[in-house]
Amino acid sequence: MQFPRLLYIFSVSLLFFSSFTAFAQYDDEEYDTIGDNLLFRKELSGSAILHTNGWGLEFRIGKNRSIFNKLMFEANLLEMKDSKEIKSINPFFTNTRSYYYGKLNAVYILRTGVGQQRMLNRKPYFGGVELRIFYSGGISAAFTKPVYLNIIKLDEGSYRYITVIERYNPDDHFPDNIYGRASFVKGFDKLSFYPGLYAKAGLSVDFGTLNQKPKIIEAGIALDAYPKGIPVMAFRDPNQFFLTLYISFGIGKRYD
C-alpha cells in the first residue's frame, strides 16, 4: 500500500472520528463546568500507536508555555517491520510456528525527544473537540535482535530427522528445511545498537468531555534516520531511513 493512499485513509478517519465525537456525546455524560475549564500547566498522557510498519507505545509529559503553546517531552517504544515481510509456514508439518522468510533481524526502536503543540481551537466547556498541530524530534535508538529458527537436520548417528535452533542464515536455510520460528526470547543476548535521530509531525484531537482527563486521537508522519544502515531482510540493502504514518489513541491527566 502506497503512502499517499495511507495518508488519505488516515486523514479521512481522523476527520470522521472528530466529527462523530463532536455531535455524538450523550446528555448523561459528565461535562466540565465553566469554572473547571481552566488552563492547567502540566499534563501526563499515555498512548497506543499503530503505524504502517508495526505498533508501539508512547508516554508524554507536557507543560503549557501559554494558552496556545505546549512543550512536550516524549518517549516511544516501537516495533519496526520491513514492508517486504511475508509470513510463511512449513506446509509439510502440522502445528509449526510461522516465520518471515528472509528476515535477518527484528527491529525495536526507543525514541526520546522534545516537541511542541500549537492549539488551533479551544474546546468549549459544553463539549466538542480541541485541535492541535504538533512537531517533535530527538534521539532514535534502534536495537536489532537476530532471528532464530528451528531447522530440520539429519542426525547422522540415528539417521533420523531432528530440529535444532540456529540463527537464520540465507545461505543455509530455505523453506524446505525451516521447521518454524524459535522462541521469541531467543536472540536477546545478541542485541545490536544503532544510534540515530527522529522527527515527526501531525494533528492531535482531544475529544474528552472533561478538561482534566483528555482523550486523544492523533495522526501523523514520522521519520527515523541512522548513519549506519540496519539489516532487516536478506538480499536487500540495510535500511538507513524508516518513514511511517501512524495513528494513536491515548488518555491523560492535566494538573497544576
The pLDDT of residue 23 is 46
Cell of 126: 459544553
Domain membership flag for residue 158: no
**Residue 34 covered by a domain:** yes
The confidence score (pLDDT) of residue 256 equals 86
So what's the pLDDT on residue 85? 94
Give the domain CATH number at 131: 2.40.160.20
Q: Is 201 domain-assigned?
A: yes
Q: Is residue 162 included in any domain, yes or no?
A: no
Cα 238 to Cα 96, 104, 106: the distances in Å are 29, 10, 13
Query: Cα separation of 206 and 109, whole Å?
Result: 27
Helix (H) or strand (E) holding 144: strand 130-146
Looking at residue 27, its pLDDT comes to 46
Instruction: Tell me, yes or no, whether 211 lies in a domain.
Output: yes
Q: Would you say residue 49 lies in a domain? A: yes
DSSP, res 19? H
> How many folded domains does the chain comprise?
1
Q: Is 167 exposed, middle or buried (0-12, 13-18, 19+ CB in 10 A)?
A: middle
C-alpha 155/C-alpha 152 separation (Å) is 10
Render each residue's pLDDT in the chain as its tens digit; 256 residues.
Answer: 455 555 555 555 555 555 544 444 444 455 544 445 577 889 999 999 999 999 999 999 999 988 899 999 999 999 999 988 999 999 988 889 999 999 999 999 999 999 999 999 887 766 689 999 999 999 999 999 999 999 999 998 888 999 999 999 999 999 999 999 999 999 999 999 999 999 999 999 999 888 889 999 999 999 999 999 999 999 999 999 999 999 999 999 998 8
CA angle 191, 192, 196 (to 5 degrees): 135
Note whether residue 197 is domain-resident.
yes
Note down the domain range covering 55.
3-87+106-144+191-255
> 494538573: which residue's cell?
255
Which residues, 6 or more positions from 221, have their beta carbon under 8 angstroms from its beta carbon? 7, 200, 201, 202, 243, 244, 245, 246
What's the confidence (pLDDT) of residue 202? Answer: 98
Residue 56 lies in a domain: yes
